[in-house]
Amino acid sequence: MTLIPLTPWQLALAAVLLLILVMLSIPLRLQLGQQMVVAAVRTTVQLLLVGLVLEIIFGDISPLWILFMALFMVLAAGYEVHQRQHYRLTHGWGLGIGTGAMFISSFSITLIALTAILNHDPWYEPQYAIPLLGMLLGNTMNGISLGLDRLNSTVWQQRYQIEARLLMGHSANDAIGDIRRDSIRTGLIPIINSMAAAGIISLPGMMTGQILSGTSPMEAVKYQILIMFLIAAGTGYGTIAAVTLGSRRLFDDRQRLRLDRLRPTT
Amino acid sequence: MTLAAAESIAISGASGAGKSQFLRALVDLDPHDGEMWLNGIAASSMDAMHWRRLVHYIPAESGWWAERVSDHLGSQARQALPEVGFSETILSREVRSLSSGERQRLALLRALEGAPQVLLLDEASANIDPENQLQFELLVKKEQQQRQMGVIWVTHDVRLAARVATRRLSFSRGTVDDDPAALLKANV
């Protein structure tokens, strides 16, 4: 089994399908046409650029290069988590917590997977390191940003309930306990659902990619199970860390709810 | 300012003069630069949770975190239900189905159950109908005399202030008093 190399002509054919959708959105007044074109152009340019970078990294295996690329990816993911919040922690805390959580959920989990599970020599081989990290970042980011967003917006909406508990002499920890648990659950539910649905309702992207490129289905499936477990663990650790740190930051040492540390975005 | 045991102070003043801000600072709910003392002990030397059990605050719209009334009230508050015009059937009601005035009367029971030494009422009875408002005031006064609780009423209602207050302050004029017998002293 070999892979059919794609020509630009074939990609252009796929783009025609998207163009039809854009044209369809005009009479339907979805006001999405421009956004869709921009997104499609971005996806093309960004993926081509990353392809170029990967070609370079794959050609010259230096752990320093891979580390540099990994850190860049983690920082970008942390920024993205921050950007997805409707209510953001001020003074760099939102960005810091998002990036810290992405570091835990993706960077450290990838490192563990490479050194302790895959045991390849050298462990930093880009063929494994980069796709693993990329998969983890892309998937754990959703859970973490959902969890944080739920935390911040619920606290904002339920400030009077929280303050009522503080006024009854409850600790900040007790006053926000239910909201914190709910936020962590919110972050974790999507990955639990996709683990439950994998193989029956959806064929996961990585597995299908491997099968397309000629890997035997059984090998692809094993990799997919590995990646699912890593994503679930990473999402869980990252969400717990982000929501716990975020909920601490929302109170001060006098057990006061500090909504002045949250800024709504419009 | 100072507040003596069993004393009632009524604070009035234009909207935006900082009355609520002042009460919220007293209960240590907002950051502030001042200091408070209760029976000569500084709030800052005390655990914030402990302070809020001693100095309790009821805002104009009380907050409720669980679904049913019964989730918020202990046995002592349940026994006192008739004193604010309720029967036991209220316990199974959902908090959100109650009127604002009903919630405020329950908030008083919830507050008194913790036996605070100082009670801060921020227009707390403003949304209650006249008859129940008197009951509310009577219960506050009774507790005040029995337990020597100090009370601060923030109110726009001149007649309410006349009924309950032993001292009246207008908020544009902050006073600082060094009475050593004071229950609550504040400089916020």
Contact check, Cβ <8 Å, A162/B29: no
What is the domain extent for residue A14? 1-60
Question: Considering CB atoms only, which of B29, B52, B59 is closest to A169?
Answer: B52
Q: Which of A15, A152, A3 is nearest to A85 (CA)?
A: A152
Report the chain A residue with the minimal C-alpha distance to residue B29: A256
- How does the average pLDDT of chain A come out, rounded? 89
In eight-state DSSP terms, residue A86 is: S
Q: Give mean pLDDT, residues A234-263.
A: 92
Question: Considering CB atoms only, which of A160, A168, A258 is closest to B114?
Answer: A168
| Chain B neighbors of A258, CB-CB under 8 A | 31
Contact present, B175 and B1 (Cβ < 8 Å) = yes
Q: How far is A159 from B97, CA to CA, in rounded Å?
A: 20
Best residue in A168, A179, A259, A261 to probe B by mutation, most B CBs within 10 Å?
A168
Instruction: Measure in Å the smallest separation between the Cα of B55 and chain A Cα atoms.
Output: 9
* Residue B17 CB burial class (10 angstroms; 0-12, 13-18, ≥19): middle
Q: Judge if A171 and A256 occupy the same domain.
A: yes
Helix (H, G, I), strand (E, B) or coil at B59: coil
Instruction: Measure in Å the smallest separation between the Cα of A60 and chain B Cα atoms.
Output: 56
> pLDDT per residue over A160-211, tens digit each?
999 999 999 899 999 999 999 999 999 999 989 888 888 887 778 888 888 8
Helix (H, G, I), strand (E, B) or coil at B165: coil
pLDDT at residue A67, as a whole number: 86
| Chain B neighbors of A171, CB-CB under 8 A | 49
pLDDT at residue A237, as a whole number: 93
| Chain B neighbors of A155, CB-CB under 8 A | none
pLDDT at residue B178, as a whole number: 42
Tell which wins on pLDDT, A3 or A32: A32
Q: Which CATH superfamily is domain B2-187 in?
A: P-loop containing nucleotide triphosphate hydrolases (3.40.50.300)
Q: For tokens 């998002």, what's the residue?
A: A98
pLDDT at residue B183, as a whole number: 65
Contact present, A247 and A178 (Cβ < 8 Å) = no
CB distance from A252 to chain B under 8 Å? yes
Q: Judge if A68 and A105 occupy the same domain.
A: yes
Q: Judge if A22 and A122 occupy the same domain.
A: no
Report the chain A residue with the minimal C-alpha distance to residue B26: A167
Q: How far is A204 from A220, CA to CA, in rounded Å?
A: 10
> pLDDT per residue over A81-111, tens digit each?
888 888 998 898 989 998 999 888 889 999 9
Q: Judge if A85 and A115 occupy the same domain.
A: yes
Given A60, A75, A99, the domain boundary residue is A60
Q: Judge if A120 and A170 occupy the same domain.
A: yes
* Residue A250 CB burial class (10 angstroms; 0-12, 13-18, ≥19): buried
Contact present, B38 and A140 (Cβ < 8 Å) = no
Best residue in B65, B67, B69, B76 to probe A by mutation, most A CBs within 10 Å?
B65
Q: Which CA distances in Å does B19 have to A116, B39, B59, B183?
A: 62, 23, 11, 20
Q: Where are the domains of chain B?
A: 2-187
Contact present, A22 and A41 (Cβ < 8 Å) = no
Q: How far is B26 from B58, CA to CA, in rounded Å?
A: 12
CB distance from A174 to chain B under 8 Å? no
Q: How far is A114 from A112, CA to CA, in rounded Å?
A: 6
Q: Which two tokens stand for residue B122?
A: 């921020």
Question: Considering CB atoms only, which of A169, A254, A256 is closest to B53?
Answer: A169
Q: Judge if A33 and A87 occupy the same domain.
A: no
Q: How far is B137 from B147, CA to CA, in rounded Å?
A: 15
* Residue B175 CB burial class (10 angstroms; 0-12, 13-18, ≥19): exposed
Q: Cβ atoms within 10 A of the Cβ of A258, count?
A: 16
Contact check, Cβ <8 Å, A256/B27: no
> pLDDT per residue over B160-184, tens digit each?
888 888 888 877 644 444 444 556 6
pLDDT at residue A138, as a whole number: 87
| Chain A neighbors of B57, CB-CB under 8 A | 167
Q: How far is A257 from A154, CA to CA, in rounded Å?
A: 13
Q: Give mean pLDDT, residues A28-56.
A: 89
Contact check, Cβ <8 Å, B52/A160: no
Per the structure, the count of domains in chain A is 2
Q: Judge if A214 and A94 occupy the same domain.
A: yes
Q: Which CA distances in Å does B132 have to A117, B83, B85?
A: 70, 10, 7
Q: Judge if A129 and A257 occupy the same domain.
A: yes
**CB contact residues (below 8 A), chain A span 188-227, against chain B:** none
Question: Considering CB atoms only, which of A158, A171, A254 is closest to B28?
Answer: A254
Instruction: Measure in Å the smallest separation between the Cα of B122 and chain A Cα atoms.
Output: 13
- Low pLDDT (below 70) residues in chain B: 172-188
Residues 6+ apart with CB under 8 A from B23: B57, B120, B122, B152, B154
Q: Judge if A162 and A95 occupy the same domain.
A: yes
Q: Above 90 in pLDDT, residue A131?
A: no
Q: Judge if A138 and A20 occupy the same domain.
A: no
Q: Judge if A199 and A78 occupy the same domain.
A: yes
Instruction: Measure in Å the smallest separation between the Cα of A247 and chain B Cα atoms.
Output: 17
φ/ψ of B8, rounded to 5, equals -120, 120
Question: Considering CB atoms only, which of A161, A255, A258 is closest to B65?
Answer: A161
Q: Judge if A110 and A184 occupy the same domain.
A: yes
∠ Cα A184 A190 A193 (to 5°): 120
Best residue in A181, A254, A258 to probe B by mutation, most B CBs within 10 Å?
A254
Given A60, A78, A94, the domain boundary residue is A60
Contact present, A132 and A146 (Cβ < 8 Å) = no
| Chain B neighbors of A250, CB-CB under 8 A | none
Contact check, Cβ <8 Å, A161/B110: no
